[in-house]
Structure 1
Amino acid sequence: MRENWSDVREGGGEEKAERMEFEGDDGRTRTGTVWTATAHAITAIIGSGVLALPWSVAQMGWIFGPFTLIACAFVTYYTAMLLSDCYRTADPVNGKRNHTYMDVVSSCLGPRDVFICAIAQYALLWGAMIGYTITAATSMMEINRSNCFHYKGHDAHCNTSGNLYIILFGIVELVLSQFPNLEKITIISVVAAAMSFIYSFVSLLLCLLKLASNHSLHGTILGIKTGGDISPSMKVWYSFQALGNIAFAYTYSMLLIEIQDTLKSPPPENQTMKRASLNGIGVTTIFYVSVGCVGYAAFGNNAPGNVLTGFYEPFWLIDIANVAVVVHLIGAFQVFGQPIYAKYEEYLSKKWPESAFFHKQHKLPLPFCKTRAFRFTFCKLLLRSAFVVLTTLIAMMLPFFNAIVGLLGAIAFWPLTVHFPVSMYMAQAKMRKGQWRWLMLRCLSAVAFIVSAMAAVGSIADIARRLKHVAIFKTKL
């Protein structure tokens, strides 16, 4: 699960000498090591995008599928190394610290790029919230369906509507959105991170069991074939969409600076972060390639969009995995939503500094707890509720798991993973135009832009095609 690591705080109880040893130039004590950063990196990268990897490999086949998985991992790692050197402004070892991704953009590039970065970052955050709502509803529908198949047989009519599940998920998020910030629901975030590992490992295990029962490898060199329901244009759009799915699975760069800001020094933070990125991306890549390729070998060109929907038995294990997905996404929704709430609330409160709507706190006594009260402003109560309701409605209108994931990958990959890290590194290194490394980095950015554009076009084309054949607000599995 992708955590908001900017909320990591130093622990209490350290000895004074230890505090002096790890205290940074900004007065904050940092105790992070390469192993804690590696753990954060793995937790940040692994998310619900792993469920779409077998389908993504199926669109491209045995050659381009694994190649794309490894290529995206390499690009993510390389740009992570560049971004690590930008944690400190001007000098990677002794320069001024930047605590967030946006701080680095502001220090290295300026206000115009901060605005562009903000659009990309908050579009990704909101898009992820929509995607998580769809995915959670899909998992809840799958629990209902797998139980139906188990008790009534695999030939039973077990289709189910997802609107109720989307609404239930939205109600839960409506309640959680009223907590002031992530620090107040840390336990949910921790549990959600553990859940991501559970359903990822269960997915891999189920694919291995299915592959063993097949007694042969499925799949083709170039992936799904045209003919029947698959036209040549659909084959192209699906391949483009698969690029976005894989890119989304590796989304990491926008969280790297927050992780790096937890590291003690010496050794220099950039050196530690590079090692942690190598460890984290390396472990994740092995896992992703395993899930993507084993899943494709098990299902072949009929790999489902969400790999968990391709299994019927053992129904109890499938239910555990899907429950883990739902619990994970309950927390992930808040991890991605709280920064959005904080940003627009900060803007509105500054614009109307005297308004009671934004500033006056109200108290509501909690039942069975006389010493505590629910504190809120009408701004948080109404605007956060409206935002969650709007997100839920959009999820009901666009119930397309793979298309949404592909579009999110397109939004995030070029600007956040490649363009800004490359541009910030070149600005900090004062790299001259025309140098061979300048040319190589610009070529990398251009190729990433083309990949993101292709992924966006493929995902939008698939959404447009599906909207012609689906009834709005009638999500079914």
Structure 2
Amino acid sequence: MGTHNEIYDDQKNSFEVQKEGAGKDNFVDDWLPISATSRNAKWWYATFHNVTAMVGAGVLSLPYAMSELGWGPGVVILVLSWAITLFTLWQMVEMHEMVPGKRFDRYHELGQYAFGEKLGLWIVVPQQLICEVGVDIVYMVTGGTSLQKFHDLIVPSGPKIKLTYFIMIFASCHFVLSFLPNFNSISVVSLAAAVMSLSYSTIAWAASAAKEVQPDVQYGYAATTTTGTVFNFLSALGDIAFAYAGHNVVLEIQATIPSTPERPSKKPMWRGVLFAYLVVAVCYFPVAIIGYAMFGNAVNSNVLISLYKPTWLIAMANMFVVIHVIGSYQIYAMPVFDMIETALVKKLHFKPCFRLRFFARTSYVAFTMFVAITFPFFGGLLGFFGGFAFAPTTYYLPCIMWLAIYKPKRFSLSWIVNWICIILGILLTILAPIGGLRQIIVDASTYTFYS
């Protein structure tokens, strides 16, 4: 049996090992993109981060979605989606700190609390990854397409350059920006992106209104067959769902806001969300309604493509889109970087260093660029990803979590509203990808790869 001094030394050594281990864990947590050390954001950070995350490429497809839905269904679905997603976003903001002394800084952490450690991970992570990687692929296509349109407007008699090269040009800036460590470090990029989104949305509806109603405008469905009309309708549902995509990063954005028992983070976060949704309404509704009213079913899947004059204004709007999707890409990439780096460091025990971050992040940017170059189908991608991935994480997964955690009384108002959202969201998940996939197949049948 050891002496008192030997026992004391053993306890001291054990404590030092634990302290060293805890210090190592703290260092790793602080090194990761979504960490406690970056909690110094204000409510207006939440506003422009959410605007950047929400008002993206999807807004430009809304007139096209309206043309496939028709006036009545189009307006109803647009307004209903705005209301439902605002409600589910409020639920997520509320659930961020539902456990005293703990914060759910990542979507999958909330899922694990609601459904269990393993099941929550399997339910949330695949869907969130599909959403965030899907958005970044679509934004690669959007950035490249807008750069191409800008070039063609500025140099109309110049050489025709492949879309592939414009996507590569757009991707090149992300090989640099991807090394910004966390959400706070991309605040300036995100603010610029939020301003750009408001700017090009205003240009889109104002320039459409200035063109006035086209002489041969038609408001009937463009498809000549019933089958085509139905599939287009389903694809348009996915376009609408894609336009409301901010839920996938809302907990990660809220994680940047400080919190005290007297002033929890949900108060400034909710203020930021409300302002963001006001901007969303100002951007979405005029673009969707005026764009469709002016062009009818002849509107392009990207409304800016339908606008040619004044040349300088449309060229500027396309460049605004490029700047905006640069910021949006980074907003959606940051949680993916966090997942990749967490897995590499905590699961595979790689050393957290710049070299690891360099290879992990450049590989991700290269992957999204390659897929975007291979499948640059803007409209079809929106419809497919909107229904397949965004509907679950945006429309009804927060409702299921709310029911699982808070357990509201059966047939109470909360219970009824959540179940309505769940049913509508599941229908969207089933129906929208069918239309989007068909659109991709139709586009691919006439497309030359890497052209």
Q: Do both proteins adopt the same fold according to a TM-score greater than 0.5, normalized to the shorter chain?
A: yes
Deviation at 1:130, TM superposition (A): 0.8
SS at match of 2:105: coil
SS at match of 1:89: coil
Alpha carbons 2:238, 2:384 under 8 Å: kept: yes
Aligned twin of 1:62? 71
Residue type at the aligned position of 2:130: A
Aligned twin of 2:59? 50
Please say which of residues 176-185 and 243-252 is displaced more in the overlay. 176-185
Alpha carbons 2:88, 2:395 under 8 Å: kept: yes
CA change 1:276–1:384 in 2 (3 A) is: closer
Q: Does 1:224 align with 2:182?
A: no
Q: Does 1:196 align with 2:205?
A: no
CA deviations over 1:243-263 (Å, ceiling 9, x no partner): 111111122223333454526
* Corresponding pairs, count: 416
CA change 1:160–1:312 in 2 (3 A) is: farther
Distance 1:175 1:275 in 2: 32
Aligned twin of 1:71? 80
Alpha carbons 1:177, 1:385 under 8 Å: kept: yes
Alpha carbons 1:83, 1:424 under 8 Å: kept: no
Aligned twin of 2:149? 142
Distance 1:180 1:42 in 2: 21
CA change 1:8–1:74 in 2 (3 A) is: farther
CA change 1:459–1:420 in 2 (3 A) is: same
Aligned twin of 1:88? 97
Aligned twin of 2:432? 455
Please say which of residues 447-456 and 99-108 is displaced more in the overlay. 99-108
Select the structure that is richer in helix: 2
Aligned twin of 1:22? none
Residue type at the aligned position of 1:388: V
Distance 2:36 2:203 in 1: 29
Alpha carbons 1:140, 1:322 under 8 Å: kept: yes
Aligned partner (choices 434, 443, 451) of residue 466 of structure 1: 443
Alpha carbons 2:132, 2:248 under 8 Å: kept: no
CA change 1:217–1:334 in 2 (3 A) is: same
Aligned partner (choices 85, 107, 125) of residue 113 of structure 2: 107
Distance 1:183 1:87 in 2: 19
Distance 2:50 2:367 in 1: 31
Deviation at 1:118, TM superposition (A): 0.8
CA change 1:391–1:267 in 2 (3 A) is: closer
Aligned twin of 2:376? 399
CA deviations over 1:208-265 (Å, ceiling 9, x no partner): 2112xx4889452xx42432xxx33222222111111111112222333345452666
Distance 2:373 2:424 in 1: 34
Deviation at 1:303, TM superposition (A): 0.7
CA deviations over 1:117-153 (Å, ceiling 9, x no partner): 111111111111110111111111111222355x69x
CA change 1:256–1:168 in 2 (3 A) is: closer
Deviation at 1:454, TM superposition (A): 1.3
CA change 1:61–1:263 in 2 (3 A) is: farther
Q: Does 1:336 align with 2:343?
A: no
Distance 2:429 2:406 in 1: 26
Aligned partner (choices 214, 227, 230) of residue 233 of structure 1: 227
Q: Does 1:411 align with 2:388?
A: yes
Identity of aligned residues (%): 28
Residue type at the aligned position of 1:459: G
Deviation at 1:297, TM superposition (A): 0.8
Alpha carbons 1:219, 1:296 under 8 Å: kept: no
Alpha carbons 1:403, 1:462 under 8 Å: kept: yes
The answer for unaligned runs of 5 or more in structure 1 is 11-27, 153-157, 362-375
Residue type at the aligned position of 2:345: S
Residue type at the aligned position of 2:197: S
CA deviations over 1:438-476 (Å, ceiling 9, x no partner): 3552342022111122111111111122222211111xx
CA deviations over 1:152-196 (Å, ceiling 9, x no partner): 9xxxxx965211111222233223334444555543333233222
Residue type at the aligned position of 1:234: G
Please say which of residues 78-87 and 133-142 is displaced more in the overlay. 78-87
Aligned twin of 1:116? 123
Alpha carbons 1:70, 1:285 under 8 Å: kept: no
Residue type at the aligned position of 2:447: V
Alpha carbons 2:209, 2:290 under 8 Å: kept: yes
Distance 2:37 2:251 in 1: 15
Q: CA-atom RMSD, angstroms?
A: 3.1
CA change 1:218–1:70 in 2 (3 A) is: farther
Deviation at 1:31, TM superposition (A): 7.4
Deviation at 1:57, TM superposition (A): 0.7
* TM-score normalised by L of structure 1: 0.78
Aligned twin of 1:438? 415
The answer for unaligned runs of 5 or more in structure 2 is 1-32
Residue type at the aligned position of 1:107: Y
Distance 2:36 2:348 in 1: 31
Distance 1:305 1:390 in 2: 25
SS at match of 2:70: helix
Aligned twin of 2:139? 132
